[in-house]
Amino acid sequence: MHYEGNIIRPPSEAHSILLQVTVGCSRNKCTFCGTYAGERFRIKSNDIIMADIAFAAKHCKNQRRVFLCDGDVMILPQKRLLKILAEIEKQLPWVTRVGVYANAKSLKMKTVDELRELKAHGIGIAFMGLETGDDVTLKNIDKGATAETMIQMGKKAREAGIHLSITVLLGIAGRERSQIHARETGRVLSAIDPEYVGALSLMLIPGTPIHQDYESGKFTLIEPDEMLHELRTMIAHTNLCRGLFHANHASNYLPIKAKLPKEKDATLKLIDQALAGKVTLKPEWQRAL
């Protein structure tokens, strides 16, 4: 397989065939992210992509899922993306699902019918980074979309039948807007009603704008107990019809995997126990991106 630069994928795609279609991220401006610093976003040549699919056809027969890397494959022109999916269907007939990253911009560029067409040709899940439902914080981190736009684009993906996994970031609003961020994020998640929510805890990366703000005193990184208070408020304000709320990423202090709404009350009680010191938190040295 041919890979360039940093390859990232969601934790749930750990055992998927990682097919790199683009290099970098089409947005690449978020203040907290240093993954593609200095990397110009580009689409890889069809020859390389098709050669990688042919390689997977020979060597990846035990893997049932494909994840299209990198930062935002959904932004590809429809015909080009369909050509890649058609080749996956042809050469990897055992694959049951194709996953992609998507952002508000790329989803806005697709009609519901186009998304349905992508669904019909294998795309079963899109991973979208919401980070926060607080408009002030969205602007501060240069996310490039408002909360309302996030809601509309999330609903569009769901209307097309594509499962949605939304990522949110604990601590991203700093101390002053921590609880506002938690409540507003719960509101936006409830409006979209995704199948999956993944909560990560902010870890500052040297060289990123938010790290520079931290060093200059403009941004305050909240403490572990404040992260838990934020998580509790977020879950309390999140109402999903039938979804999984995960906070079991390596960055988190308290691993959580809850079915909502069924396990909501039990999860809030677990967080309360942790806040009371009755549940041990993950030590700092064990946390990772």
Which region holds residue 123: left if phi is over 0, alpha if psi is between -120 and 50, else beta? beta
CB-neighbour burial class of residue 36 (10 A; exposed 0-12, middle 13-18, buried 19+): buried
11-284 CATH: 3.20.20.70
Q: Which residues contact 279 (CB under 8 A, 6 or more apart)?
A: 254, 270, 273
Question: 273 in helix, strand or coil?
Answer: helix
Q: What is the pLDDT along the chain (289 residues), one digit of tens a residue?
A: 999 988 889 989 999 999 999 998 888 899 999 888 888 899 999 999 999 999 999 999 999 999 999 888 999 999 999 999 999 999 999 999 999 999 999 999 999 999 999 999 999 999 999 999 999 999 999 999 999 999 999 999 999 999 999 999 999 999 999 999 999 999 999 999 999 999 999 999 999 999 999 999 999 999 999 999 999 999 999 999 999 999 877 788 898 999 999 999 999 999 999 999 998 888 887 887 6
Give the pairing of strands 65-69 and 97-102: parallel
Residue owning tokens 């992260």:
227
Q: What is the pTM of this model?
A: 0.94
For the chain, domain boundaries = 11-284
How far is the C-alpha of 69 from the C-alpha of 99, rounded, in Å?
9
Calpha distance 102→64 (Å, rounded): 21
Contact 236, 188 (CB under 8 A): no
